[in-house]
Amino acid sequence: MPSLRSRLRTRATATFGRPALAAVLYGVIALPLALVGFFLTLVGLAFGGALSVTTLGLWLLAATVRGALALGALQRGLARRLLGLEIEQPGVEDGGTGIGAGGILSWRRGILLDRTGWRAVGCVLLTPFTAVFAYAAVVIGYVYGALFTLHPLLKRWNYNTVHTTEGTTHPVSTDRHVSLEFFGYQLDSWPRWLIPFTAGLLLLAVAPLLLRYALGPHRALLTVLLGPDAATRRIRTLEETRARAVDDAAATLRRIERDLHDGTQARLVALAMHLTLIRELVTAGAEPARVLTAVDTAQGNATQAITDLRHLVKGIHPPVLDEGLHAALTTLAADSALPVALTTDVGTRPTPAVETIAYFCAAELLANATKHAHATAAAVDVTARDGVLRLRVTDDGRGGAVIGAGSGLTGLLARVRTVDGTLTCDSPHGGPTVVTVDLPHT
């Protein structure tokens, strides 16, 4: 049970710690900034729109859009620094740094036609409405909270003098000092000032929560309008995965080339040489023992070359995969050092690319279970439902597997993403480990 002291400390850091104060600062800055942006943009749009038949009007509009974009960048920076909110740069279509080849008029047209710019304008026009909530939350939570809490101290300096006259025959006027009065109920004396005191503390305690909820709409607005739109995000993912796929393919080809060249070809050269040696030995009439030694060496080379080729082929595309995922996984399970329980429930056959990726994922995950997790048993389940082929590999090893930090899972995830799949890993320390791979399956 955390002690009262540590709980108080947690509360205190929640309200007054760095992240909380940063959020307060943001809440205070955001509204004025939003209002300034709002008015400037509105003016720009109004004048620009009114004059849009002239070239000056178009320039005004372009300037407004650029201003909105700049303001958007400022907002993103502030959000990242003060709120810890990461918004990716939106795609800018014309590469808004320079004027480029088209000349100044096409640059202007680029700005005016850029969707990102107009989304930024929309954001500028709407932020005052969301920022006001944050501002209000700061005022209510922090300002009023502080004032109420400090009321017992402040009432000495912060009061009204109320002059009352009582009685009709002998008027007695009294002056009293009123600092805080609630519908005639005065809260200045002991023990009544405990009420605002506790109320203030409560307000301060919930202030960070209040601020977080108040910032919710604002954060959502910024993310939706200032970040990359769905199309840009999709393009970025595709570019990344495509680069990865190309690198993978090149690396695989290099590996195959090296294996073939250093392995198989070298063995065949050695084999040819030993056959020559055998001929020379026989021609020279050497004793049979020597000839047979050379024959043994030649045979060894031939067998090794055949084995090397077999492994190489299995690494590229195991022939058994042609018979379907179930057959291939059954062979994999049988070959594995662990006992593997396999269940497959795949309706229509997936595409060859998906089958290959699923197979190699299963192979690597089983290898991990044996090598790293020191498991004693594993289970492989493949199901297909709702357009998703799900491969789940469970092992009873010691767990602790993480995606990232040089683990093989990162490589698997990247490979899986190239076909728009996903990989998740649930591996607490002490096990068991469950890795789930989802692949598209029409």
Pick the piece of the chain touching other proteins (CB under 8 A) from 14-22, 77-85, 194-202, 272-280.
272-280
Distance CA 59, CA 40 (A): 15
Give the residue with the Cβ less far from other proteins, 161 or 283: 283
Specify whether the CB–CB gap between 123 and 72 falls below 8 A. yes
Does residue number 115 form part of the binding site for other proteins (CB under 8 A)? Answer: no
Tell me: does residue 351 bind other proteins (CB under 8 A): no
- Binding region for other proteins (CB under 8 A) out of 98-106, 122-130, 269-277, 387-395: 269-277
Task: Find the helix or strand (DSSP H, E) in which 34 lies.
Answer: helix 18-50
Among 176, 261, 317, 374, contact with other proteins (rule: CB under 8 A): 261
Helix (H) or strand (E) holding 308: helix 288-316
284 contributes a contact to other proteins by CB under 8 A: yes
* AA letter at 6: S
Q: Is 270 in the site for other proteins (CB under 8 A)?
A: yes
Residue 274 CB, shortest distance to other proteins, in Å, is 6
CB nearer other proteins, residue 206 or residue 286:
286
Q: How far is the CB of 314 from other proteins (least distance, A)?
A: 25
C-alpha span between 416 and 18 (Å, rounded): 39
Please report the sign of the dihedral spanned by the C-alpha atoms of residue 296, residue 300, residue 306, residue 310. positive
- 276 is an interface residue for other proteins by CB under 8 A: yes
- For residues 159 and 179, the answer to whether their CB atoms sit within 8 Å is yes
Of the candidates 350, 318, 346, the one whose C-alpha atom is nearest the C-alpha of residue 334 is: 318
* Residue 286 or 320 having the CB closest to other proteins: 286
By CB under 8 A, tell whether 297 contacts other proteins: yes
Answer yes or no whether residue 273 interacts with other proteins by CB under 8 A: yes
- Beta-strand pair 388-395/378-385: antiparallel
DSSP-derived secondary structure letter, 324: -
Residue 89 binding other proteins, by CB under 8 A:
no
Question: Strand 388-395's sheet: what is its strand order?
Answer: 340-345, 378-385, 388-395, 433-440, 422-426
Quote the least distance from Cβ 13 to other proteins, whole Å. 56
What's the CA gap between 348 and 386, in Å, rounded? 12
- Does residue number 41 form part of the binding site for other proteins (CB under 8 A)? no
When binding is defined by CB under 8 A, the residue of 180, 294, 354, 363 that contacts other proteins is 294
305 is an interface residue for other proteins by CB under 8 A: no
From 204, 281, 354, 357, residue interacting with other proteins (rule: CB under 8 A): 281
- Residue 405 token pair: 């930090």
For other proteins, the binding residue among 99, 231, 238, 269 (CB under 8 A) is 269
CB of 273 to other proteins, least distance (A): 5
Handedness of CA 303, 304, 309, 311 (dihedral sign): positive
**Total of chain residues touching other proteins, rule CB under 8 A:** 18
Distance CA(116)–CA(223), nearest Å, equals 13
Q: For 346-398, where are the E strands, in sequence order?
A: 378-385, 388-395
Tell me the window of 67-75, 271-279, 307-315, 373-381 that interacts with other proteins (CB under 8 A): 271-279
Q: Which of 73, 206, 275, 377 binds other proteins (CB under 8 A)?
A: 275
Count of C-beta atoms within a 10 Å radius of residue 416:
21
Segment interacting with other proteins (CB under 8 A) among 63-71, 262-270, 407-415, 424-432: 262-270
Tokens of 154: 């402040």
List residues near other proteins by CB under 8 A: 261, 265-266, 269-270, 272-277, 280-281, 284, 286, 294, 297, 301
